Amino acid sequence: MQLLLESLFNGVAIGSVLLVAALGLAIVFGLMGVINLAHGELMMLGAYSTYITQLIFKQVSFLKPFYDSYVIVAIGIAFLVSGTVGILLERTVIRRLYGSPLETLLATWGVSLILQQFVRSVPLAYASGLVVALFFGLFSPLFISDDLLSGAKGKLIRACTWGFSALIGVATGGILSSLVSKLSRASARNVDVTAPSWMRGGIDFVGITFPKTRLLIILITVISVLVVIFFLDKTAWGMRIRAVTQNRPMSDCLGISTETVDIITFGIGSGLAGVAGVAVSLLGSVGPNVGGNYIVGCFMVVVLGGVGNLLGTILASFSIGIMTDLIGAGRLLTIWPDMPSPLASTIDFFATTSMARVMIFALIVIFLQFRPTGMFPQKGRMVES
């Protein structure tokens, strides 16, 4: 019984990482139908945001007493950083490719390569300054009257806004470079995020040690899921998103700004990828390729659960996580000692993490042959369209 509980916990922990990583993709891919291969790189930006936040809290004198709380601050920063880059991606690339899945796939794949090389080549201090500049440039017009933004005067105001944002970005990069020496060097190598003291060790319960890091990741996942469900079901913009998803032309006729809905949806989905990056950074080293380790699993979770179905995404994540632990760690052989010999030999062959992933993906492919729409297929006008 103890071994089964331990396996279930490890499976839920693995599934939580997959879920928080796939949650943003479920919104972008499931609700908007956009195949975003740069989703893994948005996770990578969230992971690097955690690393930068840690260094700032560690080396800036007035923040040192609050070092143990840097993870909480990093979650918000990672959401804003990845969300900002995601909104820029939607406004500059994806907006022109709606309805063209192949072109969108190729474009976002190119963006993923650009982001990887960008992180390798540009010092993190100035990369942070660029993100700050983009943030102010994209969101400052929201606080300016629409009358001022119309006509030639509006173009001048927008140009001045972007110029001011560029100055803020350069100043941010210079300040970070002077305050934190490590940020003045390019991050071609992997970097490590050190967990604060309250996250180290584990909690002993019923003879099982539950690592605090994994418990925090599970908590982050639960909060993220609840916030997304509340936003989509209980807020005005959430209902507008669901309306646009069901019938875009009719929503446009009813006065819903579909362009604004696209921006908000992509921003939230990209921001959740940044939150996933925080979770990933707590599990191992952070590098330019860290997002590539999760992108295939994220797509498999979304497709298996049913495109656009959050409940299916949750169940698929935990199912894959539990199966990965049972097969990859060889626990299934211990739990079921009387397993038939041919099946036991097969399970033993796949009893490593990488081979277990191969077996699970093969089983998912077989499952999709019989239910190509996943466990919870779409219903309503999304299917008809």
95 CB contacts (<8 Å, ≥6 apart)?
Answer: 259, 262
The answer to whether position 106 is within a domain reads yes
Q: Taking residues 187-198, what's their average pLDDT? A: 79
What does the alpha-carbon distance between residue 97 and residue 250 come to, in Å, rounded to a whole number? 21
- CA 216, distance to chain mean position in Å, is 16
* 383 has pLDDT over 50: no
Q: Is the residue at 10 inside a domain? A: yes
CA 247 – CA 178 distance, rounded (Å)? 51
* Rounded Cα gap, residues 21 and 298, in angstroms: 6
In a domain, 143, yes or no: no
Token pair belonging to 274:
């940044």
pLDDT score, position 382:
46
Q: How many domains does the chain have?
A: 1
* Structural contact between residues 276 and 24, judged by C-beta atoms closer than 8 angstroms: yes
Question: Which of the residue ranges 8-17, 171-180, 181-190, 331-340 has the most confident prediction, judged by mean pLDDT?
Answer: 171-180
Report the SS3 class of residue 34: coil
Residue recorded with tokens 């992997």: 190
Place of tokens 């993906």: 361
* Length of the chain measured in residues: 385
- Per-residue pLDDT, averaged over 20-24, amounts to 84
Instruction: Output the average pLDDT for the chain.
Output: 84
Flag whether 295 is in a domain: yes
User: What's the mean pLDDT in 160-187?
Assistant: 84
DSSP string, 256-294: --HHHHHHHHHHHHHHHHHHHHHHHHTTS-B-TTTTHHH
- Helix or strand run (H / E) with residue 305: helix 292-305
In a domain, 226, yes or no: yes
> What's residue 183's pLDDT?
79
**Is residue 384's pLDDT more than 60?**
no
Range of the domain at 93: 2-122+186-384
Amino acid, res. 344? A
User: Which residue in the block uniquely carries the two structure tokens 């992108």?
Assistant: 295
Q: Tell me, what CATH number does 359's domain have?
A: 1.10.3470
Please give the pLDDT value at position 188.
57
**pLDDT on residue 326:** 79
Please state the pTM of the whole predicted model: 0.88
Window from 75-84, 118-127, 145-154 with minimum mean pLDDT = 145-154
- What CA–CA distance (Å, rounded) separates 153 from 215? 53
Eight-class DSSP state of 252: H
Candidates 163, 105, 136, 135; CA nearest to 45 is: 135
Token pair listed for 359: 């077996």
CB 353 within 8 A of CB 10: no
Dihedral angle at the C-alpha atoms of 296, 215, 313, 309, nearest 10 degrees?
-140
- Identify the top-confidence range among 4-13, 40-49, 340-349: 40-49
H/E stretch holding 372: none
